[in-house]
Structures are given as structure tokens and as C-alpha cells.
């Protein structure tokens, strides 16, 4: 049986697209022409691609498509942040957030429907996991956001920076991540400089080691704790890849990219990881690693038992790190009035991991124990 599934060209990086044209009996250079239409001009209609012959346009219409994502809702925060829920199918949706600043527009994109990693303080984790996104769905977030936002007054696209900090663990979807990053960096794709594309990971060490060779981008590590005992609880993947291994991998990543630094993400949880002692321990851990620490004030969500550290505690933590020579900034909370801030993206996940159920039972048990105490 012939399957009537068209190839979505948003899922193919330059070499993939060249190979695709060869299978159509065409010259590989067609990839260059088509990429210019897709990414530079934002076109999804083959008939508009006037430098392709009619026969080729018909061929493409028959077997290919350029299909962005369907927004099922859009919210706009008082601070200008946009959040979209893109529906993936009847039961699943992912969230994508646009954060405008005077000199740039950052799109925070998702890499999976849900997440399987179960970090204790993250609302996506509570949703469980359904599946990996396809490359076309990762790039589709960028392509669709640009089209929905419309061009800037100077004619450029509004998205100038990408952070893989939406739903999911990008390095757990490595095979689809790499071509997506290549499209973002390619001059015929979005042509973003590698400083403007950040992959954030909770620390899948083997994939991180591969990343340096496959595509050279900015790296953010979700550290969140300065020792294994605490990180085992907050970021459970630490039990598999403990801090020493993660740090060694970060050093390797950086040594392959001279003059670069790693961003260390550290969520500030009241009374959990925010003491001066933790700050000193963190400074010692980071000594010798070219890095910048990003303190993220915890963003609450309905089922959480954590609280945000008070501002003076965050400032004190920063001061200790700075005094020890670690460049530290506190991330400004954007879009929290529409639940678009870090760790608040929940999308719609038809959970296959049964994690949501386990979380619900655990919460009920805790509540029962607290009621009895
Ligand atoms: N899986 C990737 C991307 C996650 S989201 C990773 O782990 O890096 C991006 C950042 O937001 C991560 O550092 C994540 O730990 C952090 N985060 C998650 N939940 C949060 C919350 N409720 N408040 C603040 N930051 C949170």
C-alpha cells in the first residue's frame, strides 16, 4: 500500500534536503533554492517558488510539504512575552514562548512532548512524557512563531535567539535535535550565530560529549545543586551521571570551543539549595570552568511543594559567588503571569510514562502524612 504521507521539508537540514532532491532525480543545488524560500522568505507554497520549473513544482506538490504548527491558543503577558500552545495531535500539545527584548527576540522551544526526567521542581516533569518531537516539529516552532509575529520594522524576522528551554530534555532527543540545530545555524536556514543558540541540558553526559563534535552551540547546564546528595533528589538523572562526570564533560565541551563559556543554571529553592554554604560549595565546584551562573528564582506551579527563595537570599548567594570570582546573574522572571516562565510549561501531555499518576499518589500520601502529624 502506498502511504500518502508527504515529506515535511522543515525536518530536513541542508544535506538531508540535498539527498531528498537526489531521490527525486533532481540536482542537489535545488536544496539551496528551496531553503531560501522556506527560511528567508517564510514561504510554504511551492507554486510561489518562481525559480523552480513547473515540472519540479508539481513534483514537490505531490510528495512534499512545508507545514508549520497549529496554534491552539496564544497568550500574551503584560511584559510582552507570548506563549503558544501548539497542538501535536488530539491529545498532545507543546508550549513555545517568545521573549522580546529591545535588542533581540528569544524563542524558548520544546524538544519533547512532556519530559521523562522527573526533576523535582519542574512542572513539565509532573505532566509525564509522551514522545520525542520530530525535527520538523522543533523547527516548526521557529518557523511558525516568526510568521505569526510578523517581520520587524527593519524587515528581519523577530526570532534572533533560540533557547532549548521549553518542554523536554533536548539531549534525550539527540537524533532530531542535531539537524534542527544545523538548520538554525545554516546560512541558508536561519543563519543564527552559535552564540545565539543555546541547548540546555540536565546532563546526559554521553550525548553531551557527542554534541561538541556534531554541532557547536552554546551550552547551559541545569546544575541546581553543588553536591550529589542534593542533586540526586532535585535532578534524578544525577544518579546515573553524577556531578564529577558532568563537570568533566563540561570541561571537555569547552576545551573543544576556545573562548567559550558554559551557562550554569541554578534554580533558587527556598531552604533547599540556597544557603551561603551551598554558594561556597558551588564556587569551589566551578573553579577553573569558564562559566557564568544564571540564578533562576523558582517559578511556582500548582502542585509544587517548593517555594521561591526570598530576594535577599538570592542576592546574598550571588554576592558569595561573585566574591569568589564566579560571574553570576539573576535571571529576570518573564511571562510568569501567563505561566510562561522557566519550568512552568506544561502543555498537554497524554502521559505514557504513568509518572503523573505516581506523582498524584505521592502527593496524596504526603498530604495524608501531614494531616496525621
Ligand atoms: N531539560 C532541559 C530544559 C529544561 S527547562 C534542562 O534540564 O536543562 C530550562 C531550565 O528551567 C532548566 O534549567 C530547568 O531546570 C529550569 N526550571 C525547571 N523548572 C523550573 C521552575 N519551576 N522554576 C525555575 N526554573 C525551572
Tell me whether residue 342 is one of the annotated catalytic residues.
yes
Specify the residue with its C-alpha closest to ligand 1, atom 24. Answer: 298
Dihedral angle computed from the Cα positions of residues 268, 270, 271 and 277, in that order, rounded to the nearest 10 degrees: 30
pLDDT exceeding 70 applies to what percent of the chain? 96
Q: Residue 346 has what pLDDT? A: 72
146: phi then psi, degrees, rounded to nearest 5: -60, -45
Higher pLDDT, 118 or 341: 118
Distance 166 CA to ligand 1 centre (A): 8
With b for 16 or more beta-carbon neighbours within 10 A and e for fewer, the 184-206 pattern comes to bbbebbbebeeebbbbbbbbbbe
Distance 267 CA to ligand 1 centre (A): 8
Query: Which of 122, 129, 173, 340 gets mutated to test ligand 1 (max ligand atoms within 8 A of its CB)?
Result: 122
Q: Residue 367 has what pLDDT? A: 66
Q: Answer yes or no: are the C-beta atoms of 66 and 44 closer than 8 Å.
A: yes
Tell me the per-residue pLDDT of 43-60, one tens digit each, with 9 for 90 and over.
Answer: 999 999 999 999 999 999
Burial of 89 per CB tally in 10 Å (0-12, 13-18, 19+):
exposed
Distance 55 CA to ligand 1 centre (A): 48
Instruction: Give the separation between CA 233 and CA 220, rounded to whole angstroms.
Output: 20
What is the greatest pairwise CA distance in the chain? 76
The C-alpha cell 558569595 sits at 320
Mean pLDDT of 192-196: 95
Task: Say yes or no to pLDDT of 2 above 60.
Answer: no
Average pLDDT score, the chain? 93
Task: Say yes or no to pLDDT of 223 above 70.
Answer: yes
Check residue 109 and report its DSSP letter: -
Tell me whether residue 95 is one of the annotated catalytic residues.
yes
pLDDT exceeding 90 applies to what percent of the chain? 80
Instruction: Give the separation between CA 300 and CA 308, rounded to whole angstroms.
Output: 7
Picking from 72, 68, 64, 50, the residue whose alpha carbon sits closest to that of residue 5 is 64
Q: Residue 239 has what pLDDT? A: 98
- Please give the number of the atom of ligand 1 that sits closest to the Cα of 115: 1
Tell me the per-residue pLDDT of 321-335, one tens digit each, with 9 for 90 and over.
Answer: 999 999 999 998 888
Q: Which residues surround ligand 1 with Cβ inside 6 Å?
A: 119, 121-123, 165, 169, 200-202, 222, 265, 267, 296, 298-299, 342-343
Task: Say yes or no to pLDDT of 149 above 80.
Answer: yes
Q: Residue 338 has what pLDDT? A: 79
Q: Residue 135 has what pLDDT? A: 98
Q: Residue 348 has what pLDDT? A: 81
Higher pLDDT, 61 or 339: 61
Q: Residue 371 has what pLDDT? A: 66
Higher pLDDT, 345 or 265: 265
Residues 6 or more apart whose Cβ sits within 8 Å of residue 368: none
Amino acid at each position: 500500500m502506498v502511504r500518502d504521507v508527504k515529506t515535511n521539508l522543515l525536518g530536513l537540514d541542508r544535506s538531508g534536503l540535498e539527498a531528498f532532491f537526489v531521490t527525486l532525480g533532481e540536482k542537489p543545488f535545488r536544496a539551496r533554492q528551496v531553503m531560501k524560500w522556506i527560511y528567508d522568505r517564510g514561504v510554504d507554497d511551492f507554486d510561489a517558488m518562481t525559480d523552480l520549473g513547473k515540472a519540479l513544482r508539481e513534483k514537490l506538490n505531490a510528495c512534499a510539504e512545508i507545514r508549520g504548527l497549529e496554534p491552539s491558543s496564544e497568550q500574551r503577558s503584560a511584559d510582552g512575552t507570548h506563549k503558544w500552545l501548539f497542538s501535536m495531535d488530539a491529545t498532545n500539545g507543546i508550549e513555545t514562548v517568545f521573549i522580546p527584548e529591545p535588542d533581540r527576540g528569544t524563542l524558548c522551544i520544546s524538544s519533547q512532548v512532556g519530559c521523562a526526567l522527573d526533576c523535582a521542581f519542574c512542572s513539565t516533569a509532573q505532566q509525564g512524557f509522551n514522545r520525542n518531537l520530530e525535527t520538523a516539529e522543533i523547527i516548526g516552532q521557529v518557523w511558525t512563531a516568526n510568521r505569526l509575529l510578523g517581520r520587524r520594522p527593519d524587515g528581519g524576522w523577530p526570532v534572533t535567539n533560540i533557547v532549548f528551554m521549553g518542554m523536554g530534555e533536548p539531549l534525550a532527543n539527540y537524533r532530531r535535535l542535531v539537524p534542527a540545530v544545523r538548520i538554525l545555524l545554516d546560512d541558508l536556514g536561519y543563519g543564527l550565530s552559535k552564540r545565539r543558540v543555546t541547548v540546555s541540558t540536565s546532563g546526559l553526559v554521553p550525548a553531551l560529549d557527542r554534541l561538541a563534535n556534531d554541532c557547536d552551540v552554546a551550552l547551559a547546564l541545569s546544575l541546581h545543586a553543588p553536591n550529589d546528595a542534593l542533586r540526586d533528589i532535585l535532578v534524578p538523572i544525577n544518579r546515573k551521571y553524577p556531578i564529577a562526570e558532568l563537570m568533566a564533560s563540561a570541561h571537555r565541551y569547552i576545551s573543544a570551543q576556545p573562548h567559550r563559556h558554559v551557562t550554569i543554571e541554578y534554580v533558587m529553592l527556598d531552604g533547599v539549595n540556597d544557603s551561603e554554604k551551598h554558594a561556597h560549595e558551588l564556587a569551589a565546584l566551578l573553579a577553573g570552568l569558564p562559566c557564568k551562573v544564571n540564578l533562576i528564582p523558582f517559578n511556582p506551579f500548582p502542585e509544587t511543594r517548593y517555594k521561591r527563595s526570598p530576594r535577599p537570599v538570592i542576592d546574598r548567594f550571588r554576592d558569595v559567588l561573585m566574591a569568589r570570582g564566579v560571574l553570576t546573574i539573576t535571571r529576570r522572571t518573564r511571562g510568569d503571569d501567563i505561566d510562561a516562565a522557566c519550568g512552568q510549561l506544561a502543555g498537554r501531555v497524554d502521559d505514557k510514562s504513568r509518572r503523573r499518576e505516581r506523582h498524584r499518589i505521592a502527593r496524596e500520601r504526603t498530604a495524608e502524612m501531614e494531616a496525621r502529624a
